[in-house]
Amino acid sequence: MGPKISGKGQQSHRMVILAAIFVLMTLLILYGSNNVTDDVYAPFHVATNHALMTTDLKKWAGREGYVPVSGNKNMSLHCHDCALVTSSSHVLGTGAGEEIDRSECVIRMNDAPTMGFESDVGNHTTLRVVAHSSVFRVVRRPNEFLQRTDSNPVIIFWGPPNKIGKEAKGTLYRLIQRVSTTYSNLSCFSVTPSKMRRFDNLFHRETGRDRSKSHSWLSTGWFTMVIAIEMCDNIKVYGMVPPNYCLKKPGSKKMPYHYYKPRGPDECLTYLQNESGRRGNHHRFITEKQVFARWAKQYNITFTHPKW
Ligand SMILES: *[C@@H]1O[C@H](CO)[C@@H](O)[C@H](O)[C@H]1NC(C)=O
Ligand SMILES: *[C@@H]1O[C@H](CO)[C@@H](O)[C@H](O)[C@H]1NC(C)=O
Ligand SMILES: *[C@@H]1O[C@H](CO)[C@@H](O)[C@H](O)[C@H]1NC(C)=O
Ligand SMILES: *[C@@H]1O[C@H](CO)[C@@H](O)[C@H](O)[C@H]1NC(C)=O
Ligand SMILES: *[C@@H]1O[C@H](CO)[C@@H](O)[C@H](O)[C@H]1NC(C)=O
């Protein structure tokens, strides 16, 4: 008897294959649509199990991570109370300016201005954390950002080593260097290449995701929060929404992403679109905030406007 299948057997064989394909397709569709909702609601969900390693950021900190752009200053900022002022339009109308200015140290990001917004964001700046992509915008307005009368304000520049590193010797690095030598009251530092790698590793450990393999870019908010934890005993964050804020209120009213760009993009839209972005590199604003929420329990961090 050869391996000959009768007509009837062949037909039922075909039926089985068709049924299997049908079941597979159904599963794929179900799984696929699950993924789609995931993409919208929690695409980059941080695992809450203990497989994630937690890092003691106080021990993780180190001065060697920041090198002076010129001269031989040390990054030795330490403050008991810090106000971390976000760039979100949630700060508008809060009247928090005076309270912010009463903090021992005030931390700001990129080119977020104080002029014209003093009553809500205050007018002191102790530290400004500036992304490589914001350097030009900061340098373009020296009397707002560089000629400060605050005693010895600090600027920390972060970016890929091939852009802001000493070895790069590119336009951006030369510009930062010129700023640092021109404005002697400023202390300018850049994040070292090894510290940049540590920021990536930290993201991996805290989210379970490899930054570059998951096509993610760290935000200035990520760098700023970590640096604040390194240097402050207590941190009060102004204008940062909780991680699930944009998921819970899909139809909530439009809030500009930046307080100084009233006609700019909507904050929640920017967060949600970045969070679910797969092609190209994206900021994981919501994932980062999930980590911040965990850090808030571990370190002394409180959030106001909105309070959470
Ligand atoms: C910076 O720190 C090093 C060692 O930690 C020290 O030798 C040096 O004097 C410090 N420089 C300044 C300007 O404080
Ligand atoms: C800003 O600075 C001026 C003095 O330079 C001060 O009078 C004012 O109270 C400060 N704070 C705010 C919130 O405007
Ligand atoms: C630098 O700081 C001193 C006092 O700390 C101040 O008198 C001077 O005006 C400042 N210079 C600039 C350019 O802001
Ligand atoms: C935590 O921060 C708050 C407000 O900044 C402060 O009142 C409190 O004493 C801090 N707690 C500790 C343990 O440092
Ligand atoms: C992601 O966020 C940045 C702001 O950091 C924004 O410029 C960009 O448009 C956002 N991307 C998407 C797809 O929303």
pLDDT tens digits, one per residue of 8-56: 556 667 776 666 666 666 555 444 433 333 333 344 555 554 456 678 8
- Residue 55 beta carbon below 6 angstroms from any ligand 4 atom: no
Nearest CA to ligand 5 atom 6: 270
The side-by-side arrangement of strands in the sheet containing 187-191 is 66-68, 187-191, 154-158, 127-131, 105-109, 79-85, 232-238, 300-304
Q: Give the pLDDT of residue 40.
A: 33
- Ligand 4 pocket mutation pick from 234, 236, 297, 307 by most atoms within 8 angstroms of CB: 234
User: Which ligand has the minimum distance to the alpha carbon of residue 99?
Assistant: 2
Which tokens in the block code for residue 262? 């009233």
Q: Give the pLDDT of residue 113.
A: 96
**How many Å apart are CA 31 and CA 35, to the nearest integer?**
6
Cα–ligand 4 centroid distance for 128 (angstroms):
23
Cα–ligand 5 centroid distance for 274 (angstroms):
6
Q: Which of 160, 83, 165, 87 is nearest to 124 (CA)?
A: 83
Please list every protein residue whose CB sits less than 6 Å from any atom of ligand 3. Answer: 147, 149, 151, 185
**How many Å apart are CA 132 and CA 137, to the nearest integer?**
10
Least confident of 48-52, 100-104, 219-223: 48-52
Task: Enter the pTM of the model.
Answer: 0.82
**How many Å apart are CA 120 and CA 93, to the nearest integer?**
6
Least confident of 85-99, 110-124, 196-210, 219-233: 196-210
User: Which ligand has the minimum distance to the alpha carbon of residue 151?
Assistant: 3
Strand boundaries in 141-286, DSSP class E: 154-158, 187-191, 216-217, 232-238, 282-283
Which tokens in the block code for residue 202? 């930290």
Where do the structural domains in the chain lie, given as residue ranges? 62-304
**How many Å apart are CA 64 and CA 137, to the nearest integer?**
27
**How many Å apart are CA 106 and CA 79, to the nearest integer?**
10
**How many Å apart are CA 290 and CA 244, to the nearest integer?**
8
User: Which ligand has the minimum distance to the alpha carbon of residue 148?
Assistant: 3
Structural element, H or E, at residue 20: helix 7-41
Torsion angle of C-alpha atoms 45, 50, 52, 57, degrees rounded to 10: 110
- Give the position, in ligand 4's atom list, of the atom nearest the Cα of 235: 5
Q: Tell me the pLDDT of the chain averaged across its residues.
A: 84
Report the residue count for the chain.
308
Phi and psi torsions of 249, nearest 5°: -120, 70
Q: What is the pLDDT of residues 119-161, one digit of tens each?
A: 999 999 999 999 999 999 999 999 888 987 777 899 999 999 8
CATH of 62-304, one of 2.130.10.10, 3.30.420.10, 3.90.1480.20, 1.10.287.130: 3.90.1480.20
**How many Å apart are CA 243 and CA 41, to the nearest integer?**
11
pLDDT over threshold 80, residue 98: yes
- Residue 300 beta carbon below 6 angstroms from any ligand 4 atom: yes
**How many Å apart are CA 209 and CA 22, to the nearest integer?**
34
- Give the position, in ligand 4's atom list, of the atom nearest the Cα of 233: 14
Cα–ligand 1 centroid distance for 168 (angstroms):
25
- Residue 98 beta carbon below 6 angstroms from any ligand 2 atom: yes
Q: Give the pLDDT of residue 11.
A: 67
**How many Å apart are CA 101 and CA 237, to the nearest integer?**
13
Which tokens in the block code for residue 215? 């096509």
- Residue 270 beta carbon below 6 angstroms from any ligand 5 atom: yes
What is the pLDDT averaged over residues 229-251?
A: 90
- Residue 117 beta carbon below 6 angstroms from any ligand 2 atom: no
The bridge status of strand 282-283 relative to strand 187-191 is unpaired
- Ligand 5 pocket mutation pick from 89, 273, 281 by most atoms within 8 angstroms of CB: 273
- Give the position, in ligand 5's atom list, of the atom nearest the Cα of 269: 14
Which tokens in the block code for residue 63? 């001065």
- Asked if residue 299 lies in contact with residue 120, where contact means CB atoms within 8 angstroms, the answer is no
Q: Give the pLDDT of residue 21.
A: 64
Cα–ligand 4 centroid distance for 83 (angstroms):
13
Q: Give the pLDDT of residue 237.
A: 98
Which tokens in the block code for residue 264? 């700019």
